[in-house]
Amino acid sequence: MKQFTSVKDIPDPIGLVQDTIKLKNNHRFSDLGKNKTIGLLFFNPSLRTRMSTQKAAQNLGMNHIVLNVGQDGWALEFEEGAIMNGTTVEHIKDAAPVMGLYCDILAIRCFPNLKDREEDYSEKILQQFIKYCNIPVISLESATLHPLQSLADMITIQEHQKQHTPKIVLTWAPHIKPIPQAVANSFAEWAVGCGHQLTITHPKGYELSEHFTEGTVIEYNQEKALENADFVYVKNWSSYHEYGKILDVQENWLLDNQKMSITHHANIMHCLPVRRNVELSDELLDSENSLVLKQAENRIYAAQIVLQKILETNF
């Protein structure tokens, strides 16, 4: 594995989930990464991704260097041929190869700006790091995808599913500000990649890019979607078609115990952070059906298996 930016980088996603569960249960610590360094670049805030990836690197004996690019780094220029007489100080063509000299693997968090869909969906920042850093790259959530989160989610489902073909529902939830589509896009392509049946439910206008939802069922009626569900993944996202906008939604999309009563005693999932009683109610987050802490724990092993595969195949 040279890079980890999407389920498409993985030849066998189901095998990767199974390998991760074996690692978690039997081989948590090794020195495979001894004398190797991972650089963690954050253009945006993080709790889980930062700490779980550091912990995963430690479990493999790796060193890590964290750079909060958005706060501490030089302002980077990404335009080819730019005359840099404005606010940007260093071009990605110069910064990325330097980072490649200091690190063996580079991991990058770069959210979308939610203003220019074409630019965000071209993954301009992530792709230029891949182009210029000359070392393997891991996405810590890009403009369109969050693959480490989705791998952790697939592991969590595998650990908790009681039947061969569970019904999985991804439901849109309310939020007070525009949120990227990355977690939802990524969950959809990983669920399909792992052979799951996924139903996505959202208000009209919140359709995700078909590029990521191929193979899923779209059901606009939330209650109908929830019928007999085994797993309910709750997530807000802003509009893809009216790009980055929050649309007017009249119906109540907040999940509660009453709505969950039509499911198959479903497990509730959310990637966190969550705005309690806006996106998801206290009664569900604090219930025995909530898997949110299991998902967060599995972020360690998702990162660790990806680091392990990259170390095994590139060094």
Residue with the CB atom nearest ligand CP in the bound state? 49
Q: Tell me: does residue 49 bind ligand CP (CB under 6 A).
A: yes
Name the residue nearer to ligand CP (CB basis): 40 or 225: 40
Please give the residues from 125 up to 144 whose contact with ligand CP meets the rule CB under 6 A: 141
Cα 116 from Cα 169, distance rounded (Å)? 29
Q: Which stretch binds ligand CP (CB under 6 A): 47-55, 187-195, 222-230, 242-250?
A: 47-55
Among 200, 225, 271, 291, binds ligand CP (CB under 6 A): 271
Among 24, 48, 117, 167, binds ligand CP (CB under 6 A): 48
* Neighbour order of strands in the sheet with 37-42: 3-4, 137-139, 105-109, 37-42, 63-67
Cα 61 from Cα 178, distance rounded (Å)? 38
Count of residues engaged in binding ligand CP, rule: CB under 6 A: 9
Among 149, 156, 186, 216, binds ligand CP (CB under 6 A): 149
Q: How far is the CB of 123 from ligand CP (least distance, A)?
A: 17
Q: How far is the CB of 271 from ligand CP (least distance, A)?
A: 4
Among 218, 254, 262, 272, binds ligand CP (CB under 6 A): 272
CB 249 within 8 A of CB 174: yes
Q: How far is the CB of 56 from ligand CP (least distance, A)?
A: 13
Q: Tell me: does residue 270 bind ligand CP (CB under 6 A).
A: no
Cα 78 from Cα 193, distance rounded (Å)? 32
Cα 226 from Cα 87, distance rounded (Å)? 49
Phi, psi of 203 (to 5 degrees): -70, 155
Percent composition of the chain: helix, strand, coil (DSSP 3-state, to 5): 40, 15, 45
Over the window 273 to 312, marking each residue x when it contacts ligand CP by CB under 6 A and - when it does not, the resulting string is: x---------------------------------------
In the chain, the DSSP E strands lie at 3-4, 37-42, 63-67, 76-77, 90-91, 105-109, 137-139, 167-172, 197-201, 217-218, 231-235, 267-269
Name the residue nearer to ligand CP (CB basis): 186 or 308: 186
C-alpha distance across the termini of the chain, in Å = 11
Q: Which stretch binds ligand CP (CB under 6 A): 20-28, 45-53, 94-102, 167-175?
A: 45-53
Residues that bind ligand CP (CB under 6 A): 46-49, 141, 149, 271-273
